Amino acid sequence: MRLGTTEILLLVVLALVLFGAGKLGGVGKALGKSIKDFKKEVKDDDPQQENDGDDKA
């Protein structure tokens, strides 16, 4: 099931009515920051970290 233009516009209008323009901008900013931080953490996850304990001699 795909969302058409009409459905997307309806969702945007509904979100504006529920949250208001000011809060919606803040929510979008917080969501974008969360996604950015998540991607950064996933990218920084080094698979060699599990093997660091094996090098002890």
CA 17 to chain centre: 23
Question: Can you give the pLDDT at residue 36?
Answer: 95
- Average pLDDT in the 4-12 region? 92
pLDDT tens-digit readout, 18-51: 888 788 888 889 999 999 999 999 888 766 655 5
- Average pLDDT in the 6-29 region? 87
Q: Are 24 and 15 in contact (CB under 8 A)?
A: yes
pTM above 0.85, yes or no: no
Question: Per-residue pLDDT for 2 more than 90?
Answer: no
Instruction: Fill in the amino acid letter for 39.
Output: K
